[in-house]
Structure 1
């Protein structure tokens, strides 16, 4: 059975960080949450992946980030794992797969892998063992109304049922956003589109 992965990241942020492209001193895009789904050719969920990471440079989450994502400091302190552990684990989940994102999340993933290695820590699996693809331009070209929306609202913009994800019922929760993303891809393909070559 042919499968592929869709994924989403939540990473540290502050008021105005997006507009400044995280250019303020010390404001790095450190991953806090990874969500992913392994999907079959019919867009059925084969496997879920979700993990929290404890940021290293900015271990204290901003109130802005918590308000946006619903991820609190206590949750990260209690359940978060090291960046090296989670990134290696996630790259293992992606190994041998085409991995789709709605935007530049693969760039943020690469930054975080680089920081881990820069600290002299090893990562169990390689970034190069998967084929990462930003499929947002394809989605936006087929459904222009999606061009100004984030991944967690794709379901709404396309008039689809809101994803039901136990314990993760809001936009900017990585796993919820993955379900929104998967629903959008299924909808577009059900309408006659074909995923770009190499995605399956």
Structure 2
């Protein structure tokens, strides 16, 4: 078994118009651009992912947790060609830095070759990098079946290691510090973050930590509770019983209006 510990850095369109559009329609929006050069089969999904991968860093450990290989590749963006100033400030990655790099389809194939082994296990810090990786794969029309299916969410196991309550998690930098891993590299760099995650795995790993299977096509269904509406006839009937008389049409409308105004909660103190 080989452990493929990887991390990603992303670019995103932070323009006000884009943000407004995403609030109204959800994460992605239609893309009218044509397929980029590379080894992909063309755009398989016109919905643009919110986060475009611009760096993939990975470390491979064997079953004895010895480091056997490393991968550090930057990716030329094709969805959001300009690197956001916020991303540059966070990661140090600039548009000029990526201008000579390969596009995602080529880097994806390189990652698949890097992770190839008899029983590879993807190791991530939180599920976001796994989910966003698949979104980028699908957008470019690439074969997602090439991705290893076994994975470990090391953030979850670190939370258990420190006895944190369910739902609580640690940042990568905090976990590395608590586990007394020397902080010799900056964070928010995919390769260095993969390095720290690999060191964390070496600190906490035991036989109780077992990989799970990730199915990118398993979309959880959230059943919306049926909308409840007031039985206005019964409400009026109750008022008439309370006052022992029939209500006028004006009184009925006033009760209905008061109910609707109360639902807005604008008169709560």
For the superposition of Structure 1 and Structure 2, which TM-score range results when normalised by the shorter chain? Answer: 0.7 to 0.9
Distance change (3 Å), C-alpha of 1:13 and 1:149:
farther
Q: What corresponds to 1:173 in structure 2?
A: 189
Q: Give the alignment's TM-score, normalised by structure 2.
A: 0.59
Superimposed CA distance per residue, residues 64-115 of structure 1 (whole angstroms, 9 cap, x where no aligned partner): 001111112211113x211110112112222341111011211111000001
SS of alignment partner, residue 132 of structure 1: strand
Partners of 1:154 and 1:13 in 2: CA distance: 27
Task: Give aligned pairs, total.
Answer: 181
Q: Deviations over 1:40-85 (max 9, x none)?
A: 233221100111111111010001001111112211113x211110
Q: Which residue of 1 aligns with 2:263?
A: none
Are the equivalent residues in 2 in contact too, given 1:153–1:180 (CA < 8 A)?
A: no
Matched, 1:11 2:10: yes
TM-score by structure 1 length?
Answer: 0.77
Per the alignment, in what secondary structure is the counterpart of residue 61 of structure 1? Answer: coil
1:92 to 72, 94, 113: 113
Which whole-Å CA distance do the structure 1 matches of 2:125 and 2:196 have between them? 11
Q: How does 1:13-32 map to 2 (within 5 A)?
A: 13=12, 23=27, 28-32=50-54
Query: What displacement does 1:138 show?
Result: 1.4
Q: Which runs of 5+ in 1 are unaligned?
A: none
- The counterpart of 1:158, out of the listed 179, 193, 199, is 179
RMSD of aligned alpha carbons: 2.9
Q: Does structure 2 conserve the Cα–Cα contact (< 8 Å) formed by 1:4 and 1:99?
A: yes
Cα distance in structure 2, aligned partners of 1:27 and 1:130:
21
